[in-house]
């Protein structure tokens, strides 16, 4: 859940600040990008140099910085807009009070007041401070603002006392962030079935019928759906692409028949089905057991039609939203609409090989999304990652009605 997330970590002046070295390391290992803002007093408890080394970013403590006679400023608005989430840990009683009242007397508070992203905070203080009415009031106000508290735990405190007020351990903070982010994702609990890549239909042990599909579009769709919290089953033909995400199960197949069998076995419990694979339309009627020798001037192959995977799946749908792809070279929209109707799809994604920069192998694509109610939305040439998000947004707008 934290992979590729941009996290703004705010550290305040409490003994628990020493744990932020471990916390930063865990966030980085989870795939997040971390930038750190510290209060001046936090520097008494943990070294900015250590945190800068771990985060691979300069640690910021003040609005203004001077280097080699030049004066620059740290833009708190820019920092706040950069972040996907903000985490303040430890959050001392003093900082909690400032957050609740809107007191803005340091860079960290300016970032907090500018933040439009989800804000998490992990209180840390002695037990009497944690239970004091003013602290409880601050906590209630912050949660009323929509901020998320990562509760303090009980244990040995810096004062030598035992009780509540100890900052949650770094592992617990990371787990809390992941669970909270997952709960906020729009497709949490959904199952998405995606086909991707080409299929290879063997002629003999060394030759096959295939196409130039790289599988990139299907894999980007899988990543986008997983980033929205969906459980993804990705059935891929031969492709060099990788799907390294805990919510993606990638099933590798070779032929159209293999792909259909794998897709059918996961179709019944799918909520959304996207057929992004470039399936070979035909296969050899017979596969030769031995390599065909080059003896004649010509070679004749008898071909038979492969099953239409997305049409076969759509014919048995029971509430699934089924989306196909149409790669066309002429009469693009007309042909796409005909496929949409004939295959009983809910929507079809049209892309044309005539669009410069779009199509097989590249990192960009230009598509139009057409639904069964004749609605069409066309997009500009974009990266395939952006195209995948556009497609999911169009699907979500229709299944959320």
- E strands, 256-366, are 272-275, 282-284, 303-305, 321-328, 347-352, 364-365
343 annotated among ligand-binding-site residues: yes
Answer yes or no: are the C-beta atoms of 399 and 321 closer than 8 Å. Answer: yes
The span from the CA of 273 to the CA of 276, in Å, is 9
339 annotated among ligand-binding-site residues: yes
Residues whose CB falls within 8 Å of the CB of residue 246, separated by 6 or more in sequence, listed in order? none
CA–CA distances in Å: residue 252 to residues 195, 245, 275, 325: 10, 16, 15, 20
356 annotated among ligand-binding-site residues: no
Answer yes or no: are the C-beta atoms of 27 and 34 closer than 8 Å. Answer: yes
271 annotated among ligand-binding-site residues: no
390 annotated among ligand-binding-site residues: no
Closest by CA to 280, choosing from 202, 353, 211, is 211
151 annotated among ligand-binding-site residues: no
- Structure tokens of 93? 């009683």
366 annotated among ligand-binding-site residues: no
Neighbours of 319 (CB within 10 A): 7
88 annotated among ligand-binding-site residues: no
307 annotated among ligand-binding-site residues: yes
Residues whose CB falls within 8 Å of the CB of residue 281, separated by 6 or more in sequence, listed in order? 305, 306
Is residue 67 classed exposed, middle or buried when 0-12, 13-18 and 19+ CB atoms within 10 A define those classes?
A: exposed
Give me the catalytic one of 74, 75, 211, 335: 211
b (16+ CB within 10 A) / e for 154-165: eeebeeeeebbb
CA–CA distances in Å: residue 305 to residues 21, 250, 314: 60, 26, 18
- E strands, 92-132, are 119-123
The span from the CA of 170 to the CA of 176, in Å, is 10
Q: Is 351 a catalytic residue?
A: no
Please tell me whether the peptide bond between 65 and the residue prior to it is cis, using omega within 30 degrees of 0: no
- Structure tokens of 114? 């500018």
- List residues with catalytic annotation: 211
Residues belonging to the binding site for CTP are: 281, 291, 307-310, 325, 339, 343
């Amino acid at each position: 859940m934290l992979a590729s997330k941009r996290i703004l970590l705010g550290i305040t002046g409490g003994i628990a600040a020493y744990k932020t070295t471990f916390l930063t390391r865990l966030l980085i290992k989870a795939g997040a990008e971390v930038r750190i803002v510290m209060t001046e007093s936090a520097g008494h408890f943990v070294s900015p140099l250590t945190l800068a080394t771990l985060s691979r970013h300069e640690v910021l403590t003040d609005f203004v910085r001077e280097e080699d006679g030049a004066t620059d400023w740290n833009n708190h608005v820019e920092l706040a807009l950069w972040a996907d989430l903000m985490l303040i840990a430890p959050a001392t009683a003093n900082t909690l009070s400032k957050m609740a009242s809107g007191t803005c007397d340091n860079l960290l508070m300016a970032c907090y007041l500018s933040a439009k992203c989800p804000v998490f905070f992990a209180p840390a203080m002695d037990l009497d401070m944690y239970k004091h009415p003013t602290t409880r009031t601050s906590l209630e106000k912050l949660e009323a603002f929509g901020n998320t508290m990562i509760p303090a735990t009980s244990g040995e405190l810096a004062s030598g006392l035992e009780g509540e007020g100890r900052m949650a351990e770094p592992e617990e903070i990371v787990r809390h962030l992941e669970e909270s982010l997952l709960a906020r994702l729009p497709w949490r609990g959904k199952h998405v079935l995606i086909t991707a890549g080409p299929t290879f239909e063997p002629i003999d042990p060394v030759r096959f019928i295939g196409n130039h599909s790289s599988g990139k579009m299907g894999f980007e769709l899988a990543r986008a759906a997983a980033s929205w919290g969906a459980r993804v089953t990705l059935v891929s033909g031969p492709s060099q692409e990788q799907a390294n995400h805990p919510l993606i199960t990638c099933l590798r197949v070779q032929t159209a028949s293999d792909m259909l069998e794998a897709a059918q076995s996961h179709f019944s419990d799918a909520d959304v089905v996207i057929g992004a694979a470039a399936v070979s339309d035909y296969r050899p009627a017979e596969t030769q057991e031995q390599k065909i020798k080059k003896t004649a001037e010509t070679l004749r192959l008898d071909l038979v039609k492969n099953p239409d995977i997305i049409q076969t799946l759509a014919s048995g749908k029971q509430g699934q939203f089924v989306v196909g792809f149409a790669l066309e070279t002429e009469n693009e929209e007309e042909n796409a609409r005909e496929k949409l109707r004939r295959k009983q799809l809910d929507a079809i994604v049209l892309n044309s090989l005539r669009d410069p920069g779009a199509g097989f192998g590249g990192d960009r694509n230009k598509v139009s999304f057409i639904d069964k109610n004749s609605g069409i939305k066309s997009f500009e040439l974009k990266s395939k990652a952006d195209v995948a998000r556009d497609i999911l947004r169009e699907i979500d707008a229709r299944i959320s009605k």
